[in-house]
Amino acid sequence: MAGPAPVRAALRARLSEAGLIRWLGGAGALIPALALAFILVSLILEALPAIRLNGWSFFTSSAWNPGSGYGAVIITDGVRHPQGSDFGAGPLIVGTLASSAIALVIAVPVSIGAALVIVERLPRRLGNLIGVFLELLAGIPSVIIGLWGVLTFGPFISRYVAPVIARNMPDVPVLKFFGGSTGTGLGLLNSGLILAIMVIPIIAATARDLIRQVPILPREGAMALGLSDWECARRVTLPWVGSGIIGAIVLGLGRALGETIAVAMVSGSITGSYPSNVYSAMTTFAATIVNQLDGALGEATGFWLKTLAECALVLMVITLATNVAARLLVRKVSGTALPVGRGL
């Protein structure tokens, strides 16, 4: 029988081998995948009764009625639910995607432009100072930004900005969505603008760090070939870090899709109807879940809570689909050769 000394020596030899490092690294890489799978499976199991009862009409219907809490409990297809309960996520899907789209339309050009100016135009000390402010803006709690949106930003937009846009928009089918009543400042436009403010620091800070990594020789070569500053940025700098910028945009989109408290405060939180224009009150999946979770927990049959779990599942699927599409786009962009010279 081996003594303790040989056992310790064998154990020390095993610990010093590279195999242990590989094992720990593999376990660390597996944990996020297991966590994602656990969350997804948990949501599916919790939402199955709601999926079975709500059916495909859940994605197109605009009804949102938890039912009577004092009426008789009805059993349909083996699922217990209150009398009169009827749920549809059509407005939630529109609100989530529309507010995120508004945020990205505003945030992406502002963020990339700010990153280019910080890196290529401003003195390094001033650029670093502005970068610090960007990072501080990213760290502000969303509830503070939401409160600012309710008290200051939303009323300002509804009084001075929205009326100008609504009066000057042509009366054509697409742009008509920007006309009509401008509301009180709680609605789709304010939600998109607040999300843009929250997304800009994420995209701008990441793009700034990426642009700083572009070698100076390709840019100097492009300038020597006669490209202007804008052409150099568009044809050399941005393509060089294109895949990274797409990743930054996806990070910002994930923040916009899943933002909860700020949107719940500035959206108006109206369920059961589509926004009539860009100023109308609306809601998103995340805002609906946080606003109605307390009431759903007190509902006797639990069907309301299972419907919120279905909403969370749909939001998670949208987020995962967005990330998968972004990865495919990153592969395509990263394999693209860099153009050289004017007009190529």
What's CA 3's distance to the chain center, in Å? 59
Structure-token match 């639990």, residue found: 302
> What's the pTM?
0.86
Which residues in the chain show pLDDT less than 70? 1-20, 333-344
pLDDT of residue 100: 94
Structure-token match 């009180």, residue found: 184
Burial-class residue 339 by CB neighbours within 10 Å (0-12, 13-18, 19+): middle
Nearest partner of 250 among 325, 305, 183, 172, judged by Cα: 325
pLDDT of residue 247: 86
DSSP state of 73: E
pLDDT of residue 14: 56
pLDDT of residue 343: 43
pLDDT of residue 344: 40
pLDDT of residue 8: 62
Q: How far apart are CA 263 and CA 267, in angstroms?
A: 5
